[in-house]
Structure 1
């Protein structure tokens, strides 16, 4: 932190100290000085301003140290609020969170299905207005709306997806429509990126801890947090782990490649393989339709957890492919923590975590120096929506760490 603050502007210093309080939960002025490398006088000036802005509060005395007990500082949770929206084919999830990332109001509604953005955004705006009214938050404290979507950033020209309406729902295609329809500042991000920043912000992970989040819904995505911000790459499209090639002679993928993780291990592949077993189809009541893939996958995952060996073999095969992808990523990036998030891990996430942990523990290049923890997200199935709200708070409250993903008014 001292290195970060060397030569920093006043705004960057305030932002960095606020982030120290976020990750600590509570901290004294003395602790902030020790962790930041700033003088006691500098910390006093920063804290005084943060108190005057209402962003932090004094909450009482800290632990006794032999002299006068220092005063604890923490976020003032009601000082700022943010909205997060996760837009998916099956459902739309809305949350309003306080500064700590705690949900104070939420709503789930039907997904976009085959709706175009022009059709669905009208409904989204109405549902958002109802949620804000229900939450009864001060309008001045609501700093923006974050939206999580699957797909690409940037003004791509070529159609990768086979269904044009899904292409229309990719983040780069939706940003302008949402910004024009919602009266608050808006940021639109990939759902895996949102899930990662949600873990960082609401999970109080310190900015010095680098980690990755794997998000599973219809496919796999990866969000990488380093130095207190998500790493986005040259066009904000980093983390397409679903299109990492694991078998050059494997099945074709919708992206145009062969043997991608998504083609080998995503819910659609698991359901396809289950469909080869007539007895399993009958026992689980699998539908086999494209519109029912997520529901069929959930049935298979529940069967695996319940001990059905046919289901367990399918889920473990999917988990093994994911583990192989994570092994390559860990060898490349030297990760010590990987978090599994998203609705795809809701039923059988423990199996995925176990298989990945075993594979990394057995084969990771750095296993003799440190382990790589693989754990399930504590944010639950709404990780993307919570992360979208966290992204707004992160952008507005700790701008010294955010890169170029600004909110659009």
Structure 2
């Protein structure tokens, strides 16, 4: 029998790991059943992964006539991840294990317009605080993930002409963190990582076609298509905030006129709220002016909750525009679930009900037959959870797994890990000159619903 090729070895190892990590396989026989691999291959590949701590063995299961099977699990504690979700006005950071489970979380106000040196400097300081206060895994830092509120070229990790991020265009975010933290880094649009978060750990679990819409200072969408995050050819898929919804009107911060974001986002709500307050049409919103500040989108939501007619109309106006955009997306994409997240989406039932009403009225009946429209179940954690899922998927992808094992084969696994860390998989990768690629995962194991 000829030796397995490097490609065969990599594919088999990814399949085995994903069967345990994503699909919840609990034994080698179950891995073989789920992946179609032979038992000998499963035993060899799972042994390699166990040697570096990515598969752990527990007790035994019931016997079916032979030796009782050993329970297997994913070695989430073999290392840790650092993630950050940068919004227009906030920073969330987290320390997660390799399964993406959040171990520690911090948040603070921020202004993305302050520029990359100031904002990313705070992210670095917050990362340092997390690792100082939450003892990380002995295996060390395996990867870093960041979401930023603008278009990102995923292959380079650089923002591209982000409308609300002056000074960030083509900024080398990935290179900065790789140099300072000495770990691989992935950067994506913030809504993509939020979509990943709710799909992996929130209300979107079990759905294969999902639209996640963030309605905050800006508006954007993340698309899960057939069980995969869809970034598009250049990484700009889902930038729905800059769809033109009226021909004339307000100039958007992107420079165009009539964009959805300019009419329905949090910045638009705050702008219109100040106008109503100054015109005396909302005494509730005018209280902000009396306090020496401008009303915010949060003020509008709070005032609407107290029954202020002007604030109710502002929210409904925003929700109708968002619902109209989503009706087009539903007719085009036919998702089974739409998840609404972001600060404005927290305005309550009125906002969500108006979106639902507009979508169901303006979409085709077949497209909405089983469509659900629900709020995010993860709130402000969606981004950091999703960034952790993004990093884990990349670390353990076909393109990256060999490099991951080569880096961490001797860390945290003792003598056995040192002996087998540079396994057949990693040696094959070195022999064939595999290099770091940042693409979508090509090997898919169906997840638990």
TM superposition score normalised by structure 1:
0.81
Aligned to 1:91: 90
Q: Is the 8 A contact 2:191 2:221 kept in 1?
A: yes
| Partner in structure 1 of residue 411 of structure 2 | none
Does structure 2 retain, via aligned residues, the 8 Å contact 1:83–1:96?
yes
Distance 2:268 2:361 in 1: 26
Say if 2:400 and 2:437, in contact at 8 Å, map to a contact too.
no
5 Å matches for 1:297-316?
Answer: 297-316=297-316
Partners of 1:101 and 1:204 lie apart in 2 by 16
Q: Which residue of 2 aligns with 1:337?
A: 337
Separation of aligned partners in 2, 1:216 and 1:146: 22
Quote how far apart the aligned CAs of 1:192 are: 0.9
Which has more radius of gyration?
2
The alpha-carbon distance between structure 1 residues 74 and 159, as it changes in their structure 2 partners (threshold 3 A), is closer
Task: Indicate the residue corresponding to 1:4 in structure 2.
Answer: none
- Alpha-carbon separation, structure 2, partners of 1:80 and 1:117: 28
Distance (whole Å) between structure 1 residues aligned to residue 102 and residue 68 of structure 2: 33
Give the conservation status (yes or no) of the 8 Å contact 2:231–2:237.
yes
| Cα distance in 1 for residues equivalent to 2:159 and 2:23 | 44
Q: Which residue is 1:144 aligned to?
A: 143
1:405 is aligned to 2:432: no
Q: Which digits, 9 at most, give the CA deviation of each residue in 1:216-255, with x for residues without a partner? A: 3310111112354422222212211101122223433222
3-state SS of 1:214 partner: strand
SS in 2 for 1:124: helix
Alpha-carbon distance in 1 for matches of 2:146, 2:81: 11
More divergent stretch after superposition (127-136 vs 147-156): 147-156
Give the drift of 1:98.
1.3
Q: How does 1:224-303 map to 2 (within 5 A)?
A: 224-278=223-277, 279=280, 281-285=282-286, 287=288, 296-303=296-303
Instruction: State the Cα distance separating 1:178 from its structure 2 match.
Output: 3.8
Shift of the 127–277 alpha-carbon distance from structure 1 to 2, 3 Å rule, reads closer
Q: Secondary structure at the match of 1:378?
A: coil
Shift of 1:363: 3.9
1:29-68 aligned at under 5 Å gives the runs: 29-60=28-59
- Checking the alignment, whether the CA contact within 8 Å between 1:151 and 1:170 is kept in structure 2 is no
**For 1:160 and 1:97, how far apart are their aligned partners in 2?**
28
Aligned residues: 395
Q: Any stretches of 5+ residues in structure 2 without a counterpart?
A: 1-5, 402-435, 441-449
State which drifts further: 331-340 or 274-283. 274-283
Cα pair distance change 1:57/1:292, threshold 3 Å: farther
Distance 1:364 1:158, change over 3 A: closer
Give the Cα–Cα distance (whole angstroms) in 2 for the partners of residues 135 and 199 of structure 1: 25
Distance 1:127 1:388, change over 3 A: same
Residues 120-269 of structure 1 aligned to structure 2 (within 5 Å): 120-138=119-137, 140-154=139-153, 161=163, 166-170=165-169, 172=171, 174-203=173-202, 209-269=208-268
Counterpart in the other structure of 2:412:
none
Aligned-residue Cα RMSD (Å) equals: 3.8
- Normalising by the residue count of structure 2, what TM-score does the alignment of the two structures yield? 0.74
Q: Distance in 2 between matches of 1:369 and 1:56?
A: 42
1:325 and 2:358 matched: no
Secondary structure at the aligned position of 1:384 is classed as helix
Counting only pairs closer than 5 Å after superposition, residues 311-390 of structure 1 correspond to structure 2 as 311-348=311-348, 350-365=349-364, 367=366, 370-390=369-389
Q: Could you tell me which residue of structure 1 aligns to residue 445 of structure 2?
A: none
Structure 1: unaligned runs, 5 residues or longer: 1-6
SS at match of 2:166: helix
**Aligned equivalents of 2:17, 2:351: Cα separation in 1:** 35
Does the 8 Å CA contact 1:149/1:170 hold for their aligned counterparts?
A: no
Tell me the CA shift for residue 267 of structure 1: 1.2
* 8 Å contact from structure 2 (residues 195, 211) kept in 1: yes
